[in-house]
Chains A and B, each alone.
Chain A
Amino acid sequence: MGNAILFLILAVIAIGAAILMLVSKNAVHSALYLILNFAVIAVYYILLNAPFLAMVQITVYAGAIMVLFLFVIMLLGAEESSGVLGTRRGQLTTALLLGAVLIGSFVAALGQIGGSAASSSVADTTPRNLAIILFESYVFPFEVTGVLLLVAVVGLYVMSSRLVKKD
């Protein structure tokens, strides 16, 4: 499943970008770190035999979504975000503790299952095959997703039109 060295370097970059995203005071910086993180994950997708997904990741996430984020950040002038830590005493501590518990649990779980061999065959992940799977096996969820997007569009319209009215 790829080169371990490469994996580790990428992992360090991904985790570092994620942590920086988390701790940055400036929201724009956070967004940029997150883009970096997404990009690294796109690389992982390529490594994992998912080139199409990697492209989608770059265009949709790193492109469209993060642009939207940046746009809103700048629109609202919220670059200098308020405090990092939780408003309540103990919130941060508890969160870190729970994060440790979560990671510890996974580590323990990995220890239990031990090493596992990867499948020897390789799936056909061409866009064509993905489309076949999508429209054969998941046609109903696909339609539902379409409805979801439609609802989102209508919702956005309602909220923005209210803003217009209010102004």
Chain B
Amino acid sequence: MQVTIEWYIALSTILFTIGALGVLVRRNAIIIFMSVELMLNSANLLLVAFAQQLADAHGQVLVFFVMTVAAAEVAIGLALIVVIFRTKNTIDIGEINLLKG
């Protein structure tokens, strides 16, 4: 049984959906961040899979950019979480609702 690109797409979709569900259902900001990282990774996996499928190394280069941005995002995001924790003493996003209308 040959592993085709569809398998990777399916795997990637499942991982992406799990990440998305994590973002949606968890209240811990750090967990949400982790879920976002999971979603990014699923996308990265798909990029690499298509690079292999199309025999084109450009896809792998794009992954670098994604990783770089993810690294920057995590650094900023975690700093924000620290700041929020300092002011509100919680990282439960259920409690952080200053924009409630």
Cβ of A18 and Cβ of B15 under 8 Å apart? yes
CA distance A29 to B81 in the complex (A): 19
CA distance A122 to B54 in the complex (A): 8
Instruction: Kindly report which residue of chain B lies nearest to residue A11, judged by CB atoms.
Output: B11
What bracket does the count of chain B residues touching chain A fall in? Answer: 35 or more
> Could you say which residues of chain B place their CB within 8 Å of the CB of A45?
45, 48
Q: A15-B18, A85-B25 are in contact. Are A61 and B83 (CB under 8 A)?
A: no
Minimum CB–CB distance for B16 against chain A, Å? 8
Cβ of B4 and Cβ of A69 under 8 Å apart? no
Interface 0/1 of A123-167, CB less than 8 Å to B: 111000110011001100100010011001001100110110010
CB-CB contacts below 8 Å: A3-38 with B? 3-4, 7, 11, 14-15, 18-19, 21-22, 27, 30-31, 34, 37-38
Interface SS, A side: helix
Cβ of B57 and Cβ of A110 under 8 Å apart? no
> Could you say which residues of chain A place their CB within 8 Å of the CB of B49?
1, 44, 48
> Could you say which residues of chain A place their CB within 8 Å of the CB of B80?
159
Interface SS, B side: helix
CA distance A78 to B57 in the complex (A): 41
Cβ of B30 and Cβ of A56 under 8 Å apart? no
> Could you say which residues of chain A place their CB within 8 Å of the CB of B75?
68, 152, 156
> Could you say which residues of chain A place their CB within 8 Å of the CB of B19?
18
| Total A residues in contact with B, Cβ cutoff 8 Å | 87
Residues of B with Cβ closer than 8 Å to A? Answer: 1-11, 13-22, 24-28, 30-31, 33-35, 37-38, 41, 44-45, 48-49, 51-58, 60-61, 63-65, 67-72, 74-76, 78-83, 85-86, 91-92, 94
The 3 closest A-B pairs by CB, nearest first: A81-B28, A95-B24, A119-B55
Residues of A with Cβ closer than 8 Å to B? Answer: 1-4, 7, 11, 14-15, 18-19, 21-22, 27, 30-31, 34, 37-38, 41, 44-45, 48-50, 52-53, 56-57, 60-61, 64-65, 68-69, 72-73, 75-76, 78, 81-87, 91-92, 94-96, 98-99, 102-103, 106-107, 110, 113, 115-116, 118-125, 129-130, 133-134, 137-138, 141, 145, 148-149, 152, 155-156, 159-160, 162-163, 166
